Amino acid sequence: MKKLIALIAPLVLLAGCSSTPDTVRLAAHDSFVISDELITKFEEQSGYELEIIRLGDTGSMTNQLILTANAPIADAFFGIDNTFVSLAVDAGIVKGELSEIDYSDVCFNYDIEWFETAGIEPPKSWRSLIDSKYASLVVVTNPRLSSPGLAFLATTFAGFETDAEVFEYWRNLRDNGLRVSGSWEDAYFSDFTRYGGDRPIVLSYASSPAAEVDDGEAKTAALTIECFRQVEYAGVIENSANTAGASQLVEFMLSDDFQRSVPEAMYVYPAVEGTDIPASWAEHAQGATSTLGEAAEVEANRERWLKDWSDVFDN
């Protein structure tokens, strides 16, 4: 009951806050980053003040927007991705078209120095994480709350021919000491050894190593084989108080100024073709060499997959 109260309370508080005509409220996941300079530029160009409402990881944000559809807590959203977007569309919270803002490849990252010090060979693929030498070294995110977690779920189903093989892999992961964290932020910044945790292998993105370069030396590496291509969207929220301002905000996120900021601000690729990216990304943020899983498969199988996951990890 305490958990339920904790979830509902902030929704009630947020729902009670209505935007004024000169304010645009943006619902975003906790990893959204925009500089003060860009905020100022948007506000000067549009005449609206920007208010950012952070709603946890992608799954949590999507669920909260659906729960408050009759009294929207924001005017626009950023960060619903291709593993959760069908939920948002089916729930009727999206007004008009969705806009692709960025993309990246969901894959595992590992702490290079940790493995060198431990004298253990790092994994080459997610398939090898069930090996006993990686026991209690891996952290993933809950697919019910986290888009990387759901993306990995899709990857495993695409990576095996039968459900039985998928379940066997999951059970082996579980029995090998897998940790399931609630959000990407918790997994990366609390559990990952780069930030004081005890897990040197974390579910993240192929572009994440670009954030872990020190004096030109990479401190992490990504397993770029068989990753999931994740696309993040922005859009206007149906029945919101300021759809005109929301539309301007979405257009601003497609502008060259915002798109060029995406790599270094959020360590993902800009979705608008032709946008310049940092030269260092060619070395430290290469995309996946192969991908698995389709968003359409997630839409068709989400509830069954999540039940299957719960049967293995929650019982």
**Architecture of domain 105-228+287-313 in CATH?**
3-Layer(aba) Sandwich (3.40)
- CA-closest candidate to residue 72, choices 219, 242, 231: 242
pLDDT in tens, 93-119: 999 999 999 999 999 999 999 999 999
Could you check whether 2-103+230-283 and 105-228+287-313 share the same CATH topology?
yes
Check if the beta carbon of residue 285 is closer than 8 Å to that of residue 209.
yes
d(CA 17, CA 269): 33
Map out the domains of the chain as residue ranges.
2-103+230-283, 105-228+287-313
Q: How far is CA 130 from the centre of its chain?
A: 24
Cα–Cα distance for residue pair 275/91, rounded to 1 Å? 33
Written as six digits, the tokens of 133 are 């030498």
d(CA 166, CA 43): 49
pLDDT of residue 1: 32
Please provide the CATH number assigned to the domain covering 2-103+230-283. 3.40.190.10
CA dihedral 311, 87, 297, 106 (to 10 degrees): -80
* pLDDT computed for residue 184 by the predictor: 93
Residue 199 pairs with which residues in a beta bridge?
192
If we measure between CA atoms, which residue out of 52, 33, 4 comes closest to residue 232?
Answer: 33
Q: Give pTM, 2 decimals.
A: 0.82
Sign of CA dihedral 231, 235, 237, 242: positive
Q: Which positions of the chain have pLDDT values less than 70?
A: 1-21
Question: How many other β-carbons are positioned within 10 Å of the β-carbon of residue 5?
Answer: 8
CA angle 100, 156, 202 (to 5 degrees): 75
Compute the residue count for the chain.
315
pLDDT of residue 20: 55
Q: Over pLDDT 90: what percentage of the chain?
A: 81
The closest of 226, 207, 241 to 291, measured between CA atoms, is 226
Q: Which residues of 44-69 are buried (b: 16+ CB within 10 A; e: fewer)?
A: eebebebeebebbbbbbbbbbbebbe
55-65 pLDDT tens trace: 999 999 999 99
